[in-house]
Amino acid sequence: MLGSVFENAPVNEPERQYYFIDHSSALRAEKERKLGHAMTFHVTTFGCQMNARDSEKMTGILTQMGFCESDSETGADIVLFNTCTIRDNANQKFYGHLGSLNGKSTKNSERIVIVCGCMAQESECVKRLEESYGFVNIIFGTHNIYKLAELIYRYLYDGRNITDVWDKPGDIVEDIPSIRKYPFKSGVNIMFGCNNYCTYCIVPYVRGNERSRNADEILRECYHLASDGVKEVMLLGQNVNSYGNSLENDMNFPKLLKEVEKIDGIERIRFMTSHPKDLSDELIQVMKDSKKICRHIHLPLQSGSTRILTAMNRRYTKEQYTDLALKIRREIPQISITTDIIVGFPGETTRDVDDTIDVIKKVHFDGAFTFVYSPRQGTPAAEMEGRHDPEWIRREFDRVLTAVQDESKSMAGRFTGNIESVLVEEINEKDESYLSGRMSNNLMVHFPGEPSFIGKIINVRLLECRGFYYMGEIV
């Protein structure tokens, strides 16, 4: 049976995966008869927005195969982990989580455990999973997410564990099933991979070099989302500012934004992430002129020290970053600028941290993800000398965090009393009489309201700033 099914499978994607989806029903039914119930699945996502979007696709594939989504990780028949490997401590936590899952009692000894994503793209991680976590049944990486239906079909047929990790990316395969977490907003992949090779970062090694999707495919997806009721799209890439560099035409990121803005029904456009070295005056002007592009940009700084930035291979200086950020603030006064900062990079000194705090105070960041440097095996920085003792890291990290919090609280409060448009996202998890939504600048607002407002963009008066969010009322 397996041989004939594979012999007759289409060669081209995604037709091949839809073929395996269609042919999986008999195997699933046989498994369900053995279990005595309909098979369920649970997807756990770690990491970035691109991982979240990949998980929506895999949720769509599993649902179309006839499996039912479950809220319970421990009770599901299929447990899928979409992993992140940006920091080593995250890897260690995942191994602990995985071991804990296996240790918890379950009525289902036939559970299928799947590990995919960035961790699975590292050979050492795969080796450890195969040798120490034999209960993991399917392992695959970042380049063949779309093959999930085929891999599950193979496992359901013969019950043999599968490792299918590709060294290099193949063709970009989209147009596969997807179930969005929110019906009114969605991520849209515009590119994959990264060419920057920052010395601390493992991403280019696990996601490959930059590959841009054709603009026609992106716009077709956005038109489809708009027709399905989506009001907000987030254009996703490791460095959206370099979108188009791998294409043969003259399409670039600012031009793509202008095309997406023309789509009726799409009322908000976000994007993530921007590398400062590639952010152009053209992009700033497009954002300034747009009525749909949200007033928020995530612009990772990483360090305020030119010396450390050079060691990181970031390819900009402290002064260049500061000038760029202040230019954005001048041109778009309502903009919210958030960032990433690393403390404790090899060789960093207290004076280098002083430079970082100086940039924080000059740019007035609206928020920052602040991390302690975590060595990643396989990156140049992992071999650098000049590691720091924990006490120094704690002290310098606290200084940076305090500076960030002081600036972000001050910046958030400047909107008090304003009436702002808010996309209502959900019922407030702490008080069901309140709703929670997000302003264009990405700040959260909580206010009394009915669930019927969820998914709508409404006007809310901002009554009180509470540090990193607002309390408000519908106008």
Overall average pLDDT of the 181-209 stretch = 93
pLDDT bin (cut points 50, 70, 90) of residue 170 is confident
pLDDT at 381: 96
Model pLDDT, residue 104: 67
Q: Is 60 exceeded by the pLDDT of residue 18? A: yes
Question: Rounded mean pLDDT of 417-432?
Answer: 96
CA separation for the pair 312, 32 (Å, rounded): 52
Q: What is the mean pLDDT of residues 100-114?
A: 77
105 pLDDT band, cuts 50/70/90, is low
Least confident piece of the model among 93-102, 241-250, 387-396, 438-447: 93-102
Question: So what's the pLDDT on residue 97?
Answer: 87
| Residue 368, SS3 per DSSP | strand
Query: pLDDT band at 172, cuts 50/70/90?
Result: confident
DSSP SS3 for 423: strand
Is pLDDT of 55 > 80?
A: yes
Taking alpha carbons only, the member of 444, 443, 426 closest to residue 435 is 426
Is 368 in contact with 376 (CB distance < 8 Å)?
A: no
Q: Which of 347, 360, 354 is nearest to 200 (CA)?
A: 347
Q: Which residues contact 351 (CB under 8 A, 6 or more apart)?
A: 305
Quote the tokens at residue 393: 């890291």
Mean pLDDT of 97-106: 76
**Tokens linked to 270:** 């976000």
Tokens of 14: 């995604």
User: What digits encode the pLDDT tens for the residues 246-286?
Assistant: 898 889 999 999 999 999 999 999 999 999 999 999 999 99
Per-residue pLDDT tens over the stretch 355-403: 999 999 999 999 999 999 988 888 999 999 998 999 999 999 999 999 9
| pLDDT at residue 246, rounded to an integer | 86
Six-digit token pair at 386? 């000049």
Residue 445's DSSP bridge partners are 437, 470
Strand partners, 469: 444
Residue 1's pLDDT is 53
Residue 36 pLDDT class (50, 70, 90 cuts)? very high
Q: Which residues pair with 192 in a beta bridge?
A: 211
Q: What is the mean pLDDT of the chain?
A: 93
Domains of the chain: 2-164 (3.40.50.280), 185-411 (3.80.30.20), 416-474 (2.40.50.140)
- pLDDT bin (cut points 50, 70, 90) of residue 176 is confident
Q: What angle do CA 71, 76, 77 make, to 5 degrees?
A: 155
- 152-161 burial, b at 16+ Cβ within 10 Å, e below that, comes to bbbbbeeeee
Q: Which residues contact 188 (CB under 8 A, 6 or more apart)?
A: 53, 218, 221, 222, 225, 233, 234, 235, 236
* Amino acid identity for residue 356 in this structure: T
Q: Percentage of the chain with pLDDT > 90?
A: 82
Cα–Cα distance measured from residue 277 to residue 259, given in angstroms and rounded to the nearest whole number:
24
pLDDT score at 174: 84
